[in-house]
């Protein structure tokens, strides 16, 4: 059968899109890309499925994706079911001894498990890890630094050391690591670690090519919530100056991008996780999407 003209045009566009990705495939072949999947972009099953397909796709074109996930909305929902209110201070969940057990259970047994299942259904193998496994992360209690001084966050920590051995072993075995971020102190006390910041520490330790942070907005806005102020690219000095003016969940996200590029990761990206296959669009098209942070 002779294809219709429109079919031929469509086929040409598909071929052009594939060829457009050749430079990127060559550049990223064998490289590690750390992808942070955010809780707010994770609440929709179809988006989760598209994300899982993207991860499997990257794996099979020879890029080595590492997934670090959040789960803020899922933790908040479980806490509400248990009658425990959620309190955020400066973008971080105030965490007491009861809350940390819920955070640990939801992230590992619900969110990691669901994501790994979807990635496996998309045809790739996974290795589910948490900050507690094989000394992956060691954390230390931190307070939030605000323009008005320090704010206590309870059992909240930041990653101080990373032992990437288990992640590298999984990658060498062709698996996609799926990582939740609760992490112990040197004394074994469990801390709630924001997933954006943990993803940045891991990206640095792995010498990743990129950190990609998916969330539920199009990127970083200079003047939030003015939607005309989307930033497509920002350097680390300019971002450092902008940080004190950021609000809520964007604070740890942009701290993470800054830590990644300061630590030697060439580029960090904030990407709209509400758009299906946004990761593929970012990696494989010339224009890219969202906000790109460079040194």
Ligand X SMILES: Nc1ncnc2c1ncn2[C@@H]1O[C@H](COP(=O)(O)OP(=O)(O)O)[C@@H](O)[C@H]1O
Ligand Y SMILES: CC(=O)N[C@@H](CCC(=O)OP(=O)(O)O)C(=O)O
Which of ligand X, ligand Y, none binds 100 (CB below 5-8 Å, type-dependent)? Answer: none
Two tokens, residue 40: 């707010």
Residue with the shortest CB distance to ligand X: 249
Do residues 269 and 292 touch, judged by C-beta distance below 8 A? yes
Q: In the complex, what is the shortest distance from the CB of residue 230 to ligand X, in angstroms, rounded to a whole number?
A: 8
CB atoms under 10 Å from CB of 233, counted, come to: 13
Do residues 246 and 254 touch, judged by C-beta distance below 8 A? yes
Q: In the complex, what is the shortest distance from the CB of residue 279 to ligand Y, in angstroms, rounded to a whole number?
A: 16
Reported as type and span, the H/E element at residue 73 is helix 72-81
Which of ligand Y, ligand X, none binds 24 (CB below 5-8 Å, type-dependent)? Answer: none
Residues 10-39 that bind ligand X (CB under 6 A): 38-39
Which of ligand Y, ligand X, none binds 75 (CB below 5-8 Å, type-dependent)? Answer: ligand Y
Do residues 99 and 85 touch, judged by C-beta distance below 8 A? no
Distance CA 207, CA 224 (A): 32
Could you tell me which residues come within 8 angstroms of residue 6 by beta carbon, excluding any fewer than 6 positions away? none
Stretch that binds ligand Y, among 65-73, 126-134, 265-273, 277-285 (CB under 6 A): 65-73
Residue with tokens 């079911």: 81
The residue (of 112 and 127) whose beta carbon lies closer to ligand Y is 112
Contact residues for ligand Y, defined by CB under 6 A: 38-39, 70-72, 75, 92-93, 103, 156, 192, 194-195, 249
Contact residues for ligand X, defined by CB under 6 A: 38-41, 70, 72, 215-217, 220-221, 224, 246-250, 253
Which residues are annotated as part of the binding site? 71-72, 93, 192
């Amino acid at each position: 059968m002779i294809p219709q003209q429109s079919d031929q045009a469509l086929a040409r566009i598909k071929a052009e899109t594939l060829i457009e990705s050749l430079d990127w495939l060559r550049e990223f072949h064998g490289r590690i890309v750390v992808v942070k999947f955010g809780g707010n972009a994770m609440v929709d099953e179809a988006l989760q499925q598209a994300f899982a397909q993207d991860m499997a796709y990257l794996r099979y074109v020879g890029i080595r994706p590492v997934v670090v996930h959040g789960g803020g909305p899922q933790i908040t929902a479980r806490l509400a079911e248990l009658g425990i209110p959620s309190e955020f201070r400066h973008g971080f969940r105030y965490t007491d001894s009861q809350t940390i057990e819920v955070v640990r259970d939801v992230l590992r047994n619900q969110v990691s498990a669901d994501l790994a299942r979807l990635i496996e259904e998309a045809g790739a193998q996974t290795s589910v890890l948490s900050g507690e496994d094989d000394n992956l992360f060691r954390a230390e209690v931190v307070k939030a630094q605000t323009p008005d001084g320090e704010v206590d966050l309870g059992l909240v920590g930041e990653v101080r050391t990373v032992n990437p051995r288990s992640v590298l072993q999984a990658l060498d075995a062709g698996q996609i690591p799926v990582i939740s971020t609760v992490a112990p102190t040197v004394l074994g006390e469990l801390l709630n670690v924001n997933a954006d910041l943990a993803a940045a520490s891991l990206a640095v330790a792995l010498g990743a090519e990129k950190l990609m942070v998916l969330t539920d907005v199009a990127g970083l806005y200079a003047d939030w919530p003015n939607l005309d102020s989307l930033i497509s690219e920002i350097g680390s000095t300019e971002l450092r100056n902008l940080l004190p003016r950021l609000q809520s969940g964007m604070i740890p996200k942009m701290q993470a991008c800054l830590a990644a590029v300061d630590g030697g990761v060439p580029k960090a990206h904030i990407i709209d996780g509400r758009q299906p296959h946004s990761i593929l669009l970012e990696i494989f098209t010339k224009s890219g999407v969202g906000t790109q942070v460079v040194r």
